[in-house]
Amino acid sequence: MYVLVPDDPVFHAKFQSLEEPLLRHLYLHSTGAESDDERIISDAYDSWVQVLLKLPLWSQWHTADVSADHAPDEPARCTLYGAGGKQLTSLYPIEVAAGDLGNLMACLDLFVTADRTRRAVQADAEACADLPERNGSSLTDVFRRVMEVLWLPPPQRLLGTLRQVMSQGQVVSVTLPAEQETEYRRFCEDLVTILSSGDTFAYRNHRAMYL
């Protein structure tokens, strides 16, 4: 299946931040015979790597010393423009296996269940009874936001256009017609809401990337 991934530092930071806790949980569960939880986390980490390898190389493309030349083995780069000629934040179509998304969702479900159990124990002990149910900085919250982006249905016309031009390889520029720019803006508004809702300052600054 194809998903649209933004060339967006907020998304990339949240996605990459999952690596350390996945490895830490895998280590904590790797005692003795392999458990179901260990298998779920191991499969999720493998799937996380598979998705990572397909993401736009934001960290490389946005450093000051990157050459303007495009190496043959680099993924294609895409510059998007709106109907009025304004440059837009790029979106990249990437093909991900449904099984990889399923593995990641299974791991998220595992973490959510563990988080609820922990909160229940803490509440019973009256240790953290005043904590809100949802902690915006928690692993499960970040994980949930990342997965909602990966599951967000892309506009089919926009996806088709981007897949076609990206198949040309190298460096491409695309000017979206007005109706696809409208689809683009709606899709990106959903992205920003998923990734940054709950923090007014973060949401406002994130949304400014797409105005």
Nearest-5° Cα angle at 28, 30 to 99? 70
Question: Which pLDDT tens digit goes with each residue over 30-41?
Answer: 766 568 889 999
Q: 69 — phi, psi (to 5°)?
A: -75, 150
Q: Is the pLDDT of residue 107 over 80?
A: yes
Cβ neighbours for 173, distance < 8 A, ≥ 6 positions apart: 78, 79, 80, 81
The region of weakest confidence among 41-50, 54-63, 82-91, 154-163 is 54-63
Question: Which pLDDT tens digit goes with each residue over 130-152?
Answer: 555 544 348 899 999 999 999 99
pTM above 0.85, yes or no: no
Beta bridge partners of 100: none
Instruction: Supply the pLDDT for residue 136.
Output: 35
Beta bridge partners of 6: 91
Q: Are 97 and 49 in contact (CB under 8 A)?
A: no
**Higher per-residue confidence, 84 vs 59:** 84
Instruction: Supply the pLDDT for residue 77.
Output: 81
Q: Is the pLDDT of residue 62 over 50?
A: no
Beta bridge partners of 88: 80
| Segment 90-98 mean pLDDT | 95
